[in-house]
Amino acid sequence: MNQEPELFRPLVIGVISDTHGLLRPEAVAALQGCRLILHAGDIGGPEILQELRLIAPVTAVRGNVDQEAWAQVLPIRELIAMAGRFFYLLHRLDDLDIDPAAAGVAAVISGHSHHPRSHRKEGVLYFNPGSAGPKRWQLPVSVGLLRVSRERVEGEIISL
Q: What is the mean pLDDT of residues 42-62?
A: 98
Q: What is the DSSP string of 106-121?
A: SEEE--SS---EEEEE
Residue 111 dihedral angles phi and psi, to the nearest 5°: -135, -130
Q: 28-51, pLDDT tens digit by residue?
A: 999 999 999 999 999 999 999 999
pLDDT score at 135: 86
Q: 98-110, pLDDT tens digit by residue?
A: 999 999 999 999 9
Residue 38 dihedral angles phi and psi, to the nearest 5°: -110, 125
Domains of the chain: 8-159 (3.60.21.10)
